[in-house]
Amino acid sequence: MTVLHGIRPDEETARKLDESDPLSSLRNQFSIPTGASGQPVMYFCGNSLGLPPAKANYYVQEVMDEWAARGVHGHQQGPAPWFPYHELFHETGARLVGARPGEVIMMNSLTVNLHLLLTTFYRPEGKRQKILMESPAFPSDIYCLQSHIAARGLNPAEVLVTCGPSSGADCLETTHVLQAIEQHGDELATIMMGGVNFLTGQVLDMAAITEAGHRVGAAVGFDLAHAAGNVIMSLHDWEVDFAAWCSYKYLNASPGAIAGAYIHETHATNRSLPRLAGWWGNEPDTRFRMHLEETFVPVDSADAWQLSNPPILAMAPLRASLELFDTTGMPALRERSLRLTGYLRAMLESRPGCRYKVITPEEDEQHGCQLSIVIEGDATDAFATIEAADVVADFRPPNVVRVAPTPMYNTFHDCWRFAMLMGDRFGSPSA
Ligand SMILES: Cc1ncc(COP(=O)(O)O)c(C=O)c1O
């Protein structure tokens, strides 16, 4: 746990923390929206939509210019030809999630990628039909799993099983997840969970869940929407079978940005796996032989799950985003993130008797950037007063406010101002 309790809750200390932080200048590479006051807002919504890195414009313009200058020849020519454009992200994408370059492909969007991966990794057979997911789970994941189950002629109400926090608890206990895996045992075909829970910000023990899933013979995958660019992962070493994530949250790659998919190398190189196929998943050497080659020959990597030729304009901002992650490195970003989020928690908890509670676990390995704050009383109204003070955060009914200081562009001063605002709005009269 990052020890920040006891730190002085005053503005000068917050400013000093910013001045002495070696990564503070990263913020200059982002556009920060301006609020009603004319000053930059306190932007805590990187868990929902990150902010634009300055260089994104350059890469988008580059594609436009190349298109104008070369037309179709842009596929083969220019500073970043489009035919192999997706290959630009093999290494940087893999480093983000602790994978090997052949295990990661940036493509499509998150729910689409989950569908593609489940076609491969949900293979109900005999009594092994169930899928285990966490509760609460993100609705798109629930719909996605329900539809896969129904598409195989099975009943989602029987086959989709969940594991949630025990009564009265806010977050999941790893031991309960492991028990659920044990309990469903050889009836489990697949386990799919959010690596970081969207509502509570809790980081699940992905290594332990993968190991337990494999012990009972299930395929194990994670939705990493809230994990990519937020926490450090070792998907390859943990032997996670599959994963997918979006790039518009902590990765700052634009609204609805091109997403990521990971497939462990043992599967990525297995050409006989069932999958949905399209020409961009075919070996590049024969991809353009068209009607002369009617047999699909999958690329020997995660690229084989691609379907269409990718939207290059949409991919361009990813270059700016992943370059920043690569040059700074996840270890340094995570270290700063722990200090920022630890500081925010300490400031929020420095005023006793407030009508809110942070429900995100406090242990470093169980949280990322995000803190989820449960508001007592009329939370909708409360959130409106927070927003009116130039805070950009989000509200998940009935009573959770999510705030995520991100290490790329948030400051200790943002955190201090937000915590003081919360204390003023929701402090008890005597506090
Ligand atoms: C945990 C999680 N899963 C899935 C999704 C759906 O993402 P998309 O619309 O990119 O498919 C989101 C979106 O915010 C999410 O937070």
Q: Tell me what pLDDT residue 6 has.
A: 66
Q: Please state the atom number of ligand 1 nearest to the C-alpha of residue 249.
A: 14
Using CA atoms, how far apart are residues 246 and 16, in angstroms rounded to an integer? 34
For residue 253, pLDDT beyond 50: yes
Q: pLDDT (tens digit, 9 = 90+) per residue, 324-335?
A: 999 999 999 999
Q: pLDDT (tens digit, 9 = 90+) per residue, 310-319?
A: 999 999 999 9
According to CATH, the topology of domain 59-326 is: Aspartate Aminotransferase; domain 2 (3.40.640)
The best mutation among 246, 249, 254, 370 to test binding of ligand 1, ranked by most ligand atoms within 8 Å of the C-beta, falls on 246
Q: Tell me what pLDDT residue 289 has.
A: 75
pTM for the whole thing?
A: 0.96
Contact 256, 317 (CB under 8 A): no
138: Cβ below 6 Å to ligand 1?
A: yes
Q: Tell me what pLDDT residue 7 has.
A: 83
Contact 197, 172 (CB under 8 A): yes
Q: Tell me what pLDDT residue 4 has.
A: 57
C-alpha angle 389/391/396, rounded to 5°? Answer: 115
Instruction: Check residue 99 and give left, alpha or beta (phi > 0: left; psi -120 to 50: alpha).
Output: beta
List the domain boundaries for the chain. Answer: 11-30+330-426, 59-326
CATH architecture of 11-30+330-426: Alpha-Beta Complex (3.90)
For residue 3, pLDDT beyond 90: no
Q: Whose CA is nearest to atom 10 of ligand 1?
A: 110
Using CA atoms, how far apart are residues 58 and 23, in angstroms rounded to an integer? 23
CATH topology of 11-30+330-426 equal to that of 59-326?
no
Which among 260, 267, 262 has a CA at the least distance from the CA of 300? 267
